[in-house]
Amino acid sequence: MVQNREREFFGNDYHPGDYVFTFEDGRPPHPDTIRQRFDRLAAAAGLSRITFHDLRHSYATGALKAGISPKVISERIGHANVGFFLQTYAHVLGNDDREAAERAAAFLIGNGVGSSQRRRQLEATVRCLACLMWPNTCPSGMKTAPGGVSGGRFT
C-alpha cells in the first residue's frame, strides 16, 4: 500500500491519522480540494453533476439492490445502528414483498417434496402468512387468505 511506504519514508515526520486521502506526509487535504478534484474527474468522464456525498447514497442503494446485508452496508457507511439505515433506505426495498414470500415458500417447502397439489397449498399458505405480516401489500394478490383471515385480522 502506498500510504504504508510513505509512512515508512517520512518516519516521525509523518502525520498520523486514518484518512483515505492524504498528502505524502500524511496530512489530510482540505475537503474542498477533494470535492473540486472529484467534480473535474466526473465532468471529464461525462457524468451528470453529483456531489461527493451522493456517492455514499449511490453505494448504499446499489449494495442493497445487490442483496448485501443491510447490517454490513450500515457499518460500512458509518451509521450508528442498522435501524436508522433501514429507515433511510427502506424505499429501496419497498416492492420486494412478493419475492420475499416466494423465496420463503421455496425454502420452507423445499424442492419437489410431496404432491404438486400439496406444494401449491403450502405455497399459498406461506404467501398468506406474508399478507398477515404486511396487510397493505398482499404479495399473492389475494384479498382474503384461506381460512377466513383478512387484512391481518381473523374474521
Q: Which pLDDT tens digit goes with each residue over 102-138?
A: 777 777 766 555 566 666 766 666 666 655 555 555 5
Statement to judge: residues 89 and 104 lie in one domain: no
pLDDT of residue 150: 44
Residue that is written with C-alpha cell 398468506 in the block: 128
Statement to judge: residues 73 and 104 lie in one domain: no
Mean pLDDT of the 87-94 span: 80
Statement to judge: residues 101 and 148 lie in one domain: yes
Q: Is the pLDDT of residue 10 over 60?
A: yes
How far is the C-alpha of 42 from the C-alpha of 49, rounded, in Å? Answer: 8
**Domain count for the chain:** 3
Predicted TM-score (pTM) of the model is 0.50
Statement to judge: residues 7 and 40 lie in one domain: yes
Q: For the chain, what percent of residues have pLDDT higher than 70?
A: 66
Looking from the CA of 120 toward its CB, the CA atoms found within 13 Å total 3
Where in the sequence is the domain holding 112, given as residue range(s)? Answer: 97-154
Closest Cα partner for 6 from 19, 32, 30, 36? Answer: 19
Mean pLDDT of the chain: 75
